[in-house]
Structure 1
Amino acid sequence: MKRILTLFSALTAVMGLSLNASSMTTIKLLQTSDIHGNFFPYNFITRQPSAGSLARVYGAVKEARQRYGDNVILLDNGDILQGQPTVYYYNFVDTVTPHVASRMMNFMRYDAGNVGNHDVETGRKVLERWSRQCDMPVLGANIIDTATGEPAFTPYKVVEHDGVKVAILGLLTPAIPAWLPEVLWKGLRFDDMEATARKWIPIIKERENPDVIVGVFHAGQRGNTLVKYRENPSLEIAERVPGFDVVLMGHDHRRENKKVVNVEGDTVLVMNPANNGVVLTDITMTFKRDDDGRIIDKHIDGELRHMSDYEPDADFMAKFAPDMAVIKEYVDTPIGEFTSSITTRDAYFGPSEFVDLIHELQLGITGADISFAAPLSYDATIDAGPITVSDMFNLYKYENMLYVMELTGQEVKDYLEEAYSLWSKTMTSPSDHLLLFKEEPTQGDESRSTLKNPSYNFDSAAGIIYEVDVRKPKGEKVTIKSMADGKEFDPARTYRVALNSYRGNGGGELLTKGAGIPHDKLTERIVFATDLDLRHYLTDYIKKQGKVNPRKLNQWRFIPEEWTREAAKRDYKILFPR
């Protein structure tokens, strides 16, 4: 009898565990964001091995599917169509073959993707071709077709696994008009993210009755207003708009994993994997059911998983080996020759061959009086010798177009005052820093996070001779001595100024906050715009020249030099310790 009772107890325990286990459902939610064309474990710009990549991410995805079966949701949060020659080639060179980004996302079986600002920057034709070729829906609830007043992309997607309904709402930062020319997004408008979330949450709840609502926001968490747009309201939405269980962020390339409490006292998980597929957002959602199968409790937690633990997936690499070979051949195409090496490292401390080459090319292409340009890549070098297509992506990182705008001499001066206030500290002694850091840095700090402002807003000028007095406050730093040819510089005269379309549309606020031109008046100042991206024209210019001799124009300087010379040496070691 004791044996029978013991056996009965054991069976009951096993059945109890089985019943208890069957009352629990686990869903995995994985997110990539800001991949920027980093599909392979190889950087086609530097021609070096690359960290992260979709090839490694796919290994983690396969592992999750082996463990959790179909209970895996894979999402992308935008900015996948710009950054590497891989996507540029299929965006603009080979427009007949199905887009490699679409084919890869289909192969990896993404459940949904979101639109990013750099996806819009490729132009509607590219964006819509990519989205049309994807098996997944591409989301964008606040991207409105002005002809219909309805969303131009799918507002939300519902994924259901084991009776658990997960609703996914996609939103994009609305600041597109502050960065991009209308020709790239003509026929669209970008509504405020919070207002759009407040509109769609009740609709989703009523229509779908989901168990979980996920916000996929291509926007950062730090609240800021750019011109009239709230660029990064993700955290504010998580806290202010009830209904979200998870908010997945992107855009600002900053890792985050935390929980916040919204206005109704509910907990919201907020995560951001940063960029390039180096880290994967990995969320575990566990649901407990009652005897009737109804969900009575849920637990959601997440971690940021480093893809360095994964080798590039062999199936992925084999599938897309032909694409990798095509891109390698494309980036190895010769363009011309540089007689000396150039680096952006010098550009923070005075004139540099790197930025001054951009100035010379912009002036040569347009015939403008003055050129504005910044080091778009924080730390880039192009060696002397043969120049190939890959070097052109190093020389000019983004697909900006080239503008010529009409600015008065005073507006030119005020523009530069704004630029150098983002860049240089007001020194009070020779021992001060020359550069404007977030805080007092220490040797060996990660330099990109040390600078207070992004280097792509550190514009200098060519075509004029000027000094920047680091002892003076903003508004008094810049003194323009003359035009580069020695002619008088007149604050009241109108000059033709060459600059990129990001800047010309208000990016960095150097024209609006600095020069004082209202954002809605910027287009009136544009007198010339290229049809294609500036890199295309730079490439053509170098091809025609054949051999290019990069040189410092030496048309501006920091003063007093007895202060700035030593400060530059100290700050260089902080920015570039290796």
Structure 2
Amino acid sequence: MVVNITILETSDVHGNVLPINYGDNSKSDVGLAKLASLIKEERKKHENVLVIDNGDLVQGTPLTYHYVKKLQNTENPMVRVLNHLKFDAAVVGNHEFNYGMNILKNAVKDSDFPWLSANILSETGDPFLGKPYIIKTFETVKIAVLGVTTHYIPNWENPTHVEGLTFEDALESTKKWVKHLKDTEEPDLIVVSYHGGFERNLVDGSPTETLTSENQGYEICKSVKGIDVLLTGHQHRSIAEMTVNGVLVLQPGVNGETLGKATIQLEKKNNKWEVVSKQGSLLSTKYSRVDADVAELIKEYEQSTQTWLDQPIGNIKGNMAVNSPFEVRLKDNELIEFINKVQMEVSNTTISNTALFHNSSPGFPTNVTMRDIVSNYIYPNTLKVIRISGQDIKDALERSASYFLLDVDGSIKVNPSFTIPKPQHYNYDMWEGINYTIDIRKPIGERVVKLERDCERLDLKEEYDVVMNNYRAGGGGDYIMYQNKQVVKDIPLDMSELIANYIMEKGTIEATVNHNWKVIWNEQQA
């Protein structure tokens, strides 16, 4: 007797439902409305289908941001769609905490499916949402699905959003719960859905991360016996047709671009089910149609969001447009200086850093709307002022300076460590309130050749109050020099709100640039 099981995985959907880019409403092959067509087609083709969301569902677009700010007393639109599609379970991702515990708990309450995370514990020491795993049975084949979340969340998240929670090491928790499953549930198939990625090259096992335990997928495959399938995410990679130590691994990209599919065949031998084949693939949404039912489900949310996005905020006098994101990171510019100015004014601080968060950031046009703000500042970051030393500032600048490499022809390019396994352009910071020069011709770690404050060399032993976003202040992006520093001030409003309020209050913003920093890589720049 043979039974085929189909497991479908979504991950890192990040609030995308309709296939649009909210910056200009242009078409984009993303979102649950297109994934829905693929899921429904797979259910028609196959009898035994299990559908799992692997985390980072409820945050990431103006749709979800507007819901939190204006409509949070209604059903969460992302959950509404998953309920319609009859998902079997969802795993808690790190971005599930971005809007605070109430939003997450309300999403869980609205869900017709369980949310899983075995290693996020409440004050009682139990999984904080009550469900570490689910059991599903198809034609007497018993399947266990264990949910696990990267435990690195406290290093990024606003502490008030995770208050009272303990984040157990994901690898150790997986070992413990897989053993529990085998001892007590005796499943025929064990699936681990891990909101995390891989810390090693999947082919040769060479390390790809050195500073953190944020991603442990490779070690989970190597050291936890009994796992048949490992569903992953978090890194926004596209992974299929791969096995590690006999474990089939999947990762379906980001924003709903693809649907992960695992096909498992089991055969009954000596009155026991055995896995005889495992195959993984990614189904693209590029040629799938928009599911009309899903589009209708969120129609009112979408219309309200679009009206809000077109709300006028103020005007820019001068140029804050982004023509080349690479050029923005090479020398001081009007947009980054403006964001740093906002941060310094609202925090009453004189040193600030920020980033150009993604390479499709358009900058600000002459007439600014909310659409322009959320298109440039895409994360629900808040601000923190932390007290750090001059040496910490220099170390942070050296970390940012590693963003660049010199090519063989002497031209400057982006270090692959900031683009592989996923784009991390948001981990390059630019500063206001200090003067500095980065020389890419120097070795990594020795590139800051000028560092001044008020026309004098920065005292590396002195302490300074610096404002930055909460992700960076916790050490996110391998800025370990910021970890466990004194928090002087915590500003709980989202940066997009702070920017909007600032522009509305001023009415007209003049674009300025004081050229307090630059990057050099040849004699002409020097």
> Structure 1-normalised TM-score?
0.84
1:385 has 2:361 as partner: no
What's the CA shift for 1:282? Answer: 1.4
Partner residue, 2:76: 99
Partner residue, 1:369: 350
CA offsets 1:456-480 (integer angstroms, 9 cap, x no match):
1111211122222223334442244
Q: For residues 421 and 251 of structure 2, what CA distance do their matches in structure 1 show?
A: 21
Partner residue, 2:9: 31
Q: How does 1:154-553 map to 2 (within 5 A)?
A: 154-223=131-200, 229-260=212-243, 262=245, 267-289=246-268, 295=273, 298-339=276-317, 340-343=319-322, 344-420=325-401, 422-425=402-405, 431-438=409-416, 449=419, 454-480=424-450, 482-483=452-453, 486=455, 489-510=458-479, 512=480, 515=481, 519=483, 521-522=484-485, 525-553=486-514
Worse-superposed segment, 111-120 or 339-348: 339-348
CA offsets 1:148-205 (integer angstroms, 9 cap, x no match):
0111121001111222211100001111122123211011111111111111112112
What's the CA shift for 1:273? Answer: 0.6
Asked whether the 8 Å contact 1:113–1:139 carries over to 2, the reply is: yes
Q: Residues 372 and 451 (structure 1 numbering): CA distance in 2 closer, same or farther, change over 3 Å? A: farther
Asked whether the 8 Å contact 1:78–1:115 carries over to 2, the reply is: yes
Worse-superposed segment, 321-330 or 96-105: 321-330
- Partner secondary structure for residue 323 of structure 1: helix
CA offsets 1:240-279 (integer angstroms, 9 cap, x no match):
11111100110001111144353xxxx2111111111111
What's the CA shift for 1:403? Answer: 1.2
What's the CA shift for 1:111? Answer: 0.3
Partner residue, 2:38: 60
Q: Residues 72 and 459 (structure 1 numbering): CA distance in 2 closer, same or farther, change over 3 Å? A: same
Q: For residues 42 and 428 of structure 1, what CA distance do their matches in structure 2 show?
A: 36
**Counterpart residue identity of residue 424, structure 1:** F
Asked whether the 8 Å contact 2:20–2:30 carries over to 1, the reply is: no
Partner residue, 2:204: none
- Partner secondary structure for residue 200 of structure 1: helix
CA offsets 1:356-399 (integer angstroms, 9 cap, x no match):
22111112222212111111112311352221112111221211
Q: Structure 1 unaligned segments of length 5 or more: list them.
A: 1-22, 440-447, 566-578
Worse-superposed segment, 74-83 or 345-354: 345-354
Q: Structure 2 unaligned segments of length 5 or more: list them.
A: 201-206
Asked whether the 8 Å contact 1:345–1:379 carries over to 2, the reply is: no
Q: How does 1:120-159 map to 2 (within 5 A)?
A: 120-145=97-122, 147-153=123-129, 154-159=131-136
Q: How does 1:15-26 map to 2 (within 5 A)?
A: 23-26=1-4
Q: For residues 106 and 354 of structure 2, what CA distance do their matches in structure 1 show?
A: 32
Partner residue, 1:17: none
- Partner secondary structure for residue 507 of structure 1: coil
Q: Residues 155 and 393 (structure 1 numbering): CA distance in 2 closer, same or farther, change over 3 Å? A: same
Q: Residues 501 and 226 (structure 1 numbering): CA distance in 2 closer, same or farther, change over 3 Å? A: farther
Q: Residues 227 and 120 (structure 1 numbering): CA distance in 2 closer, same or farther, change over 3 Å? A: farther
CA offsets 1:524-561 (integer angstroms, 9 cap, x no match):
x2111112222211111111111222333311122366
**Counterpart residue identity of residue 253, structure 1:** H
**Counterpart residue identity of residue 77, structure 1:** N
- Partner secondary structure for residue 192 of structure 2: strand
- Partner secondary structure for residue 213 of structure 1: strand
Q: Residues 62 and 452 (structure 1 numbering): CA distance in 2 closer, same or farther, change over 3 Å? A: closer
**Bigger Cα Rg:** 1
**Counterpart residue identity of residue 37, structure 2:** G
**Counterpart residue identity of residue 69, structure 2:** F
Q: For residues 120 and 345 of structure 2, what CA distance do their matches in structure 1 show?
A: 38
Worse-superposed segment, 352-361 or 71-80: 352-361
Q: For residues 142 and 311 of structure 2, what CA distance do their matches in structure 1 show?
A: 50
Q: Residues 219 and 330 (structure 1 numbering): CA distance in 2 closer, same or farther, change over 3 Å? A: same
> Structure 2-normalised TM-score?
0.92
Residues paired across the two proteins, number: 516
Q: For residues 121 and 192 of structure 1, what CA distance do their matches in structure 2 show?
A: 21
Asked whether the 8 Å contact 2:441–2:522 carries over to 1, the reply is: no
What's the CA shift for 1:428? Answer: 9.8
Asked whether the 8 Å contact 2:197–2:217 carries over to 1, the reply is: yes
CA offsets 1:467-526 (integer angstroms, 9 cap, x no match):
222233344422445435x5774444332211111111111232x3xx4x6x3x32xx21
Q: For residues 281 and 165 of structure 2, what CA distance do their matches in structure 1 show?
A: 36
Q: For residues 51 and 67 of structure 1, what CA distance do their matches in structure 2 show?
A: 23
